[in-house]
């Protein structure tokens, strides 16, 4: 898939909270398509450990990919999940609340995409994270991308 660098951002998607799980994807094609389609401003990595079986989904590689598409990549391990299941149990509740507030402030400036490993949003804690963010942001909406 040929990608083009984006130079202009739309501000029309303020408060839009997207969620995306890369699952067993070997490349960034779908991810990049969503970044462009939804004019994503911020990718928020909500994995407790921003590493993966494939280097394509490691923090450093994601940061590089996002930079080339004028998207800010931010790892928020405080929004990670210690339960290993869908139910969100953050490593530290107080740090998670602070991180949620920071992400909410970003969402008021533009579109955020919550990134995690689990492909199915119904089995991933990012759904809970998105719901909590939704409560902090007026006129926000959540969309789970597959």
Q: What angle do CA 4, 30, 60 make, to 5 degrees?
A: 75
Give the pLDDT of residue 102: 98
The DSSP letter of residue 126 is H
Rg (CA), the chain: 14
Question: What does the buried/exposed string (b/e) look like for 97-133 if buried means 16 or more CB atoms within 10 Å of the residue's CB?
Answer: eebbeebbebbeebbbbbbbbbeebeebbbbbbbebb
16-145 is classed CATH 3.40.1010: yes
Q: What is the pLDDT of residue 88?
A: 86
Provide the residue ranges of all domains of the chain, joining segments of one domain with +. 16-145
24: tokens are: 């067993």
- Average pLDDT, consecutive stretches of 10 residues, N- to C-terminus, the chain (146 residues): 40 82 92 97 94 84 97 97 82 95 96 96 94 91 94
- Choose among 19, 25, 23: nearest CA to 119: 23
- Whole-model pTM: value is 0.88
User: What is the spatial distance between Cα 40 and Cα 32, in angstroms, rounded to a whole number?
Assistant: 10
């Amino acid at each position: 898939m040929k990608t083009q660098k984006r130079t202009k951002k739309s501000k029309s998607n303020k408060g839009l909270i997207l969620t995306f799980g890369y699952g067993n994807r070997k490349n960034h094609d779908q991810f990049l398509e969503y970044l462009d389609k939804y004019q994503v401003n911020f990718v928020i990595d909500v994995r407790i450990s921003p590493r993966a079986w494939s280097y394509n989904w490691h923090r450093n590689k994601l940061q590089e990919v996002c930079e080339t598409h004028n998207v800010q990549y931010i790892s928020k391990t405080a929004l990670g999940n210690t339960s290993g299941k869908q139910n969100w149990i953050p490593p530290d509740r107080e740090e998670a609340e602070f991180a949620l507030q920071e992400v909410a402030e970003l969402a008021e400036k533009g579109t955020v995409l919550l990134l995690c490993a689990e492909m199915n949003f119904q089995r991933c804690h990012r759904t809970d994270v998105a719901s909590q963010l939704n409560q902090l942001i007026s006129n926000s909406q959540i969309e789970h991308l597959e």
